[in-house]
Amino acid sequence: MEVIVEKITKSYGFQKAVDNISFKVNQGEIVGFLGPNGAGKTTTMKIITCYMPPNEGDVIIGGVSVLENPEEVKKHIGYLPEANPLYKDMPVIDYLKFVAEIQGVPAGKIRERILEMVKICGLKNEKHKKISELSKGYQQRVGLAQALIHDPEVLILDEPTSGLDPNQIVEIRDLIRKIGREKTVILCSHILAEVEATCDRILIINKGQLVADGTATSLRKQAQNKEIVKVTIEDGERNDIYSSLQGIASVELVDLLPAHTQSFEIQSKPDTSSRKAIFKLCVEKGWSLTEMTPVERKLEEVFRDLTITN
C-alpha cells in the first residue's frame, strides 16, 4: 500500500514544525526518516497516523485521504510511537488480546493473530509474563506485536531501538527487515547507523523541510562533487611524492596518511579528476602505483552538511 505525503505543513504558533513536505513510499519499501532532534520527524509521523491534522496539505494512504476518512486510514496503519504504549501490569497474551479487540480483529481470528505475533516477534518464552517483567528489548517486541496485530499494510516506527543494548538493536533490525518484505515501513530515527542498516531509502528532514531523498549510496554521491582518491606509491621518497602530488594542477588537497605507509588521500578541485595525472606522474617518476581507490564520503558527513545549524 502506497503512502503519499502531499505538501503538508504543521505550525505551532509562529513555529513551523513541518514546512511543505512531500514524498512517496512504495509498497514493500522500508524508508528511513532521518533528522536531528526537533527537525519535525515525530510531527510528520503523527500526521501520517491521523494523530493530528496538518494545517495544509494531505496524506493519501491506499488512495484514502487522512483528512477525509481518518478512521478508514487507521485500519491500515500499525504505529509504534517513541513512547511504547504498553500496559505493563498486563501479561503479554492479555495485552495482545486487548489490542486486537480495540483494533477490530474479528473475535474468531484473535487467537490466531496472537499466536502469529508471538511467533513473528519472538515472544514464545515470554508470552505469559507480565510486560513489566520483560527486558527493554522484549518490551519493544511487544510494541511491534501490538502495531502488527491487526495485520496493517503500513507500519510506522518512531525510534524503534531507542534505549536498547547493541544485541537487542540487531535483533529488532532483523525483525523490521523481515516484516518489511510484506509491509510498507517508515522508520523514524536520528541514528544514522540504524537507518543505513535497515532501510532501502533515506529521507532527511531539517528544520521542518525535506533536504534529501535517496539511498545511502546515492546521497553520498550527490553530496560529493569533489573526487577523493586514496593512492599508495612505492619506490619514491615520501616527501618528494607529497610535493609532486601537490603540484598537479587539478589537485586541491593532499593528506598524508599514517607515517609508516606510502599512502596519501588526494582531493581534486570541484568537478575535476586527477586520476590520469597521478598515473602519468608515477610513470614519469618511475614510481610504482600500487593503489588508487575512490573514497566515498561517510553518511555522517553528508548528514552534517545537510542539517548543520549555521
Domain harbouring 254, CATH code: 3.30.70.100
For strands 154-158 and 184-189, give the pairing. parallel
Shared domain for 211 and 276, answered yes or no, is no
Q: Are 62 and 105 contacting, i.e. CB atoms less than 8 angstroms apart?
A: no
> 114 or 196: whose pLDDT is higher?
114
Q: Cβ atoms within 10 A of the Cβ of 276, count?
A: 10
* 306 falls within a domain: no
Is the pLDDT at 310 greater than 50? The verdict is: no
pLDDT at 307 exceeding the cut of 90: no
pTM of the predicted model as reported, rounded to 2 decimal places: 0.73
pLDDT tens digit sequence for 21-72: 999 999 889 999 988 888 898 899 999 999 999 999 999 999 999 999 999 9
Are 62 and 200 in a shared domain? yes
Query: In this predicted model, what pLDDT tens digit does every residue of 242-299 receive, in sequence order?
Result: 999 999 999 988 888 876 778 998 988 888 899 999 999 999 999 999 999 988 767 7
Q: What is the CA radius of gyration of the chain?
A: 25
Partnered with residue 4 across adjacent β-strands are 24, 60
Q: What is the pLDDT of residues 200-241, one digit of tens each?
A: 999 999 999 999 898 887 777 666 667 889 999 988 888 899
Reply yes or no on whether the pLDDT at 128 is more than 80: yes
Together in a domain, 191 and 276: no
pLDDT by residue (tens digit) across 241-258? 999 999 999 998 888 887
**Same domain assignment for residues 113 and 54:** yes
Supply the pLDDT for residue 236: 86
Which residues constitute the domain of residue 268?
A: 225-296
Same-domain status, 84 and 202: yes
The verdict on residue 302 lying in a domain is no
Rounded mean pLDDT, 100-125: 92
> Which pLDDT does position 259 carry in this prediction?
67
The answer to the question of residue 56 being in a domain is: yes
Given a cut of 60, whether residue 117 has pLDDT beyond it is yes
pLDDT value of residue 224 = 64
Q: Domain boundary residue among 176, 194, 222?
A: 222
Domain co-membership, 50 together with 177: yes
Q: Give the total number of structural domains in the chain.
A: 2
**Cell 531501538, located at residue:** 161
Residues 207 and 67 in one domain: yes
Q: Do residues 28 and 145 share a domain?
A: yes
Q: What percent of the chain has pLDDT over 70?
A: 97
Q: Could you give the CA distance from residue 173 to residue 267 in angstroms, rounded to a whole number?
A: 36
> If you average pLDDT over residues 141-149, what whole number do you get?
92
**Which of these three, 222, 252, 282, is where a domain ends?**
222
Report whether pLDDT(92) > 90.
yes
Contact between 283 and 232 (Cβ < 8 Å) = no
How deeply is 137 buried, as exposed, middle or buried, from its count of CB atoms within 10 A (0-12, 13-18, 19+)? middle
Give the CATH number of the domain where residue 38 resides. Answer: 3.40.50.300
303 occurs within a structural domain: no
**Which grid cell is 125?**
518464552
Whether 309 has a pLDDT exceeding 60, the answer reads no
For residue 130, being part of any structural domain is answered with yes
pLDDT at 223: 61
Any domain includes 192: yes
In this prediction, residue 222 carries a pLDDT of: 65
At residue 126, the 3 state secondary structure works out as coil
Tell me whether residue 213 is in a domain.
yes
